[in-house]
Structure 1
């Protein structure tokens, strides 16, 4: 019998390889989670949300199906939702206490963990694109306020007038909050933050998140959406995550990074296998077993349970290197969708609406 010098390598050799039927690409999106009431969801309203979710899903899916990158796919999906007045990002963002729209966004590439983020910008139509420009065309990760806007102008971004972002629905929410002395949670029955995560056919992961924050926010408040590790995280060794919810709690838990750290696989282990005659040998390396969908779901659910225990609510989307596209939320609903090269295609709003289809476990 050959003797395996490394006991770790011996254990790893018994693990199965990745199944061939795993999706070549995978995409998940969200448009906010919160206390959604089915009784208040009219057929027309539901159709409008589902149409924009599908439009975003289609935009990202086409890029991935054509062999494009995960980074390009998530930007395409998020731009659709930033441009829709239905979501709290870009056009349709909530108002601050002072009656302005302040936008936050972040993006991360799982290949090298490069990241970019902006917060408190008021003149950029698509903050996700500015966040990506911070990632690719600056030595920084996070820019805020006027500095971020000055950087945008220096990189050729058009200055978008304030009236572009404003919508009557969001203004009414601010007026009601002030008149009735309500909290942001009383007027924001859902957290309309948008996000996308993807795995491309080259095996790379990416994540992005964009938001207008909370109605009536003051003093330059910033939530989790633009914070790398809280609202956004991507690492090819683990997963890509985008979050939506009560940002203060997501920051305290470090939700996005916490999920990835729970499911990150160790690096491949190697050991020397000696020949039968004891002379010479060779090195063999084996990777750990691929992550199952159940384990990834359990990791996300555990972190969201931690958020709930502290008093926060919301949800996350994630995609793993195996192509599992997963949702986890502790609210009544989350505007969401997912698509994979294995044939999964769906959008949903309330809990339990997903189809029975799953990406393969290994």
Structure 2
């Protein structure tokens, strides 16, 4: 099968979306994927496209990341983010950061350093030294009572055949301070390898971490296309009575999407179709996916 020139998919979290929030989730994902797609159309890298798309999601308070982050039991915001380069297998990740406006930017700045994961004050110091903007009063919590299970993310494939994956989350409402979920853990909430493809996940972080869910999808993509490989998430999530959603792109550019949550905010674009497509459930994309 011929490889598509470029592809990008974003998600805004596996969760239940109230009817009055559906438009905001669709349009927010569409803006994010368009920002990344513009980079890919110009011949830019998957890494830059994924980083930019997640920045847009972090800046949108609709989503549980960046400005929309939730508060832990101490009333504080702690955010996680990660990005991976499928060409070099470089990883940058930060966890439990409070004073970084765009955690994905801090994660991306780590790609050229020996550490792959920095946490807390160490991560914030690194971000400050890298010249990144500190979080200001615009960082707000979403509505009280939102459990914050969701994570935002992106996978992208560029014209050079390179894959990137990125994630960002604002945590769980009311959780223990210092809690870190799956989002910044490679093989759990994300992974990318040019030879296979890339994945980004969302859902119950502890369940995703316990089952190495991202790694399971990557292993499946070694044998089958993305749209089949993503179905491996269902059995382990059923075993743990947990929710998850995954977006994936394989090395040929095929897209895979699966979730067992009520909704999964999504948007995608590729060189095969000119218009951005967005949805809040995978079934809405079936017709468009068949044309990719």
TM interval, short-chain normalised: over 0.9
2:77 matches 1:101:
yes
Aligned counterparts of 2:68 and 2:240: Cα–Cα separation in 1: 30
What's the secondary structure of 1:62's corresponding residue?
A: helix
Task: Please list, as runs of the form range in 1=range in 2, the aligned pairs for 1:48-197 lying within 5 A after superposition.
Answer: 48-136=24-112, 138-161=113-136, 163-167=137-141, 169-170=142-143, 172-173=144-145, 187-188=146-147, 191-197=149-155
Residue ranges of structure 1 left out of the alignment (5+ in a row): 1-17, 174-186, 266-290
Task: Please list, as runs of the form range in 1=range in 2, the aligned pairs for 1:198-347 lying within 5 A after superposition.
Answer: 198-264=156-222, 295-343=225-273, 345-347=276-278
Shift of 1:262: 1.9
Aligned counterparts of 1:191 and 1:219: Cα–Cα separation in 2: 16
Residue ranges of structure 2 left out of the alignment (5+ in a row): none
- For the aligned residue pairs, the C-alpha RMSD in angstroms reads 1.7
What's the secondary structure of 1:357's corresponding residue?
A: helix
Contact 1:26 1:199 in 2 (8 A): yes
Aligned counterparts of 1:118 and 1:345: Cα–Cα separation in 2: 30
Aligned counterparts of 2:286 and 2:189: Cα–Cα separation in 1: 26
What's the secondary structure of 1:226's corresponding residue?
A: coil
Q: 1:355 to 1:299 in 2, by over 3 A?
A: closer
Tell me the TM-score normalized by structure 1. Answer: 0.77
2:15 matches 1:41:
no
Tell me the TM-score normalized by structure 2. Answer: 0.94
Shift of 1:355: 4.3
Aligned counterparts of 1:201 and 1:52: Cα–Cα separation in 2: 25
Shift of 1:302: 1.6
Aligned counterparts of 1:251 and 1:28: Cα–Cα separation in 2: 22
Say how many residue pairs are matched: 291
Residues 263-298 of structure 1: per-residue CA shift (max 9 Å, x gap): 226xxxxxxxxxxxxxxxxxxxxxxxxx5xxx4222
What's the secondary structure of 2:202's corresponding residue?
A: strand
Contact 2:266 2:281 in 1 (8 A): no
What's the secondary structure of 1:356's corresponding residue?
A: helix
Contact 2:33 2:267 in 1 (8 A): yes
Q: 1:350 — aligned with what?
A: 281
Aligned counterparts of 2:61 and 2:4: Cα–Cα separation in 1: 33
Which runs of 4 or more aligned residues in structure 1 lie more than 4 Å from their structure 2 counterparts after TM superposition? Answer: none
